[in-house]
Amino acid sequence: MNQTENKSKLGIWMTTSLVIGNMIGAGIFLMPAALASFGGISILGWLLSSMGALLLAKVFSKLSNMVKDSNGGPYAFAKKGFGDYVGFLVAWGYWISCWISNAAIAIAFVSAMSIFFPILKENPIVAVFLGLGAIWFLTWVNSRGVRNSGKMQLVTTLLKIVPILVIIAGGFFFFNADNFIPFNVSGTSNLGAIATTGTMTLFAFLGLESATVPADNVVDPERTIPRATMLGTVVTTLIYVLSTVVVMGMIPPDQLASSPTPFADAMGIMSGEIGEEIIAAGAAIAAFGALNGWILIQSQVARATAIDRLFPRIFKMENRKGVPIWGLIIGSILSSMVMLMNYTEGLVEQFRFIILLATFCVLIPYIFSAAAYVAISLESKEIIKSRTGIFILGGLTFAFALWAIFGAGEKSVFFGFILLLLGTPIYVWMKWKQNTSPK
């Protein structure tokens, strides 16, 4: 690969920022308040979900080396391990979850910006225009080339974690260990509290596979992707756990449980009103950066599937910058439509339900990737001696992914499976086209 080609691709820092930026959205700024009703034991829940996330990151890192043509990430792994149909279902569900999640992220961005512009709370039309503006501005950024998207991701990731790091570093000067006594205030058993908080926090790790999706747009992918995946997951884990510990140590649990802005309250203790505004800006940047990263991902997974002729060919059509432009446009149109539902009276409940389905659909690739790791590994003669390690890593990761799906709730699982199966006619149609038309 020549120097010119490398300059148009994502390097290690941009790829790592894609992982971190897609995981750290606006939700982290609310998590300490959600966990406060459980007490300090919720930190053990964070650690439990963190261990599962690190197992997944290890599996994705290994798969990115084992599957040479791994563009599309989880889709490519599932296809390699179990064939076209399973690969298609993973791509179908993952693609749907991406553009639905983008709608939710755009709404989170508008909500964060309402701290500075109260009219966004009072006038839904203004809020809609801001949300649509964010989606389509970042669609334009992505259309300018994957490198431009990578630069945006790197900048927004740095900007969003700076205020969190300030709280981690300075918060210990305002730390009160008594806030963790009693350790479990949930009214349930210790194991029950850990399991519940583990389920709550595991969703914060969705996106750890992001580096594997645009594989052919990454410099030296066999080295860069595993490193970025592990580094991004480790950094995010440290940020999550340390920031939660500090905020819970700064704010009494009864006050924290009712706080709509726990990080802003913590920064307010440290630096007054200006600190609260800095955190609000950080939450807005976090949502903006996550939206940028997921717009990139949704177009790339559709492109990879279309290249294999399992999605309509329009999704692989590229502009002069080598970007799957129609995949970007179609995904952003769908995101815009879902976002509008949240601001339409009578459709709010449907919007919430769709978000629930998206959560399930993004978990499906994890369970198939864990299973694919075992299946692909056992086919390789080079690593046949390490079967025990393969089964341990693959089995633990599979169990964690299954637990994550269980944690999504029976309603989302039931309707999520229906949503996945609705893609079957599209698969049949695409396979028919493959068999009746020349390549």
Q: Which amino acid is at 2?
A: N
The pTM (predicted TM-score) of the whole model is: 0.89
The average pLDDT across 292-304 equals 94
Instruction: Return d(Cα 229, Cα 238) in angstroms, integer.
Output: 14
Least confident of 166-175, 189-198, 348-357, 364-373: 348-357
Give the Cβ contact number of residue 327 at 10 Å: 27
361-377 pLDDT tens trace = 888 899 999 999 999 88
Q: 94 falls in which pLDDT band (50, 70, 90)?
A: very high
Place of tokens 């999704």: 315
> Residue 398 corresponds to which tokens in the numbers above?
């599979």
Mean pLDDT of 104-109: 88
d(CA 255, CA 437): 65
What CATH fold (topology level) applies to the domain 3-436?
A: Amino acid/polyamine transporter I (1.20.1740)
Q: What is the mean pLDDT of the chain?
A: 87
Q: What is the pLDDT of residue 385?
A: 56
- Residue 174, pLDDT > 50, answer yes
Q: What is the pLDDT of residue 345?
A: 66
Residue among 435, 33, 123, 114 nearest 287 (CA): 114
What per-residue confidence (pLDDT) applies to 280? 83
Name the band, by pLDDT with cuts 50, 70 and 90, for residue 438: low
* pLDDT score of 346 more than 70: no
Reported as a pLDDT band with limits 50, 70 and 90, residue 349 is low
The 10s digit of each residue's pLDDT in 30-48 is 788 888 888 889 999 899 9
The answer to whether 364 and 89 are in contact (CB under 8 A) is yes
β-pair partners for 32: none
On the question of pLDDT at 60 being above 90, the answer is yes
Residue 1 confidence class, pLDDT cut points 50, 70, 90? very low
Instruction: Give the 3-state secondary structure of residue 398.
Output: helix
Average pLDDT over residues 161-182: 89
Tokens linked to 311: 């999605």
> What percent of the chain clears pLDDT 70, i.e. is strictly above it?
94
pLDDT of residue 76: 93
Tell me the pLDDT band of 304, cut-offs 50, 70 and 90.
very high
195-242 residue pLDDT tens: 888 878 887 888 899 999 988 899 988 899 999 999 999 999 999 999
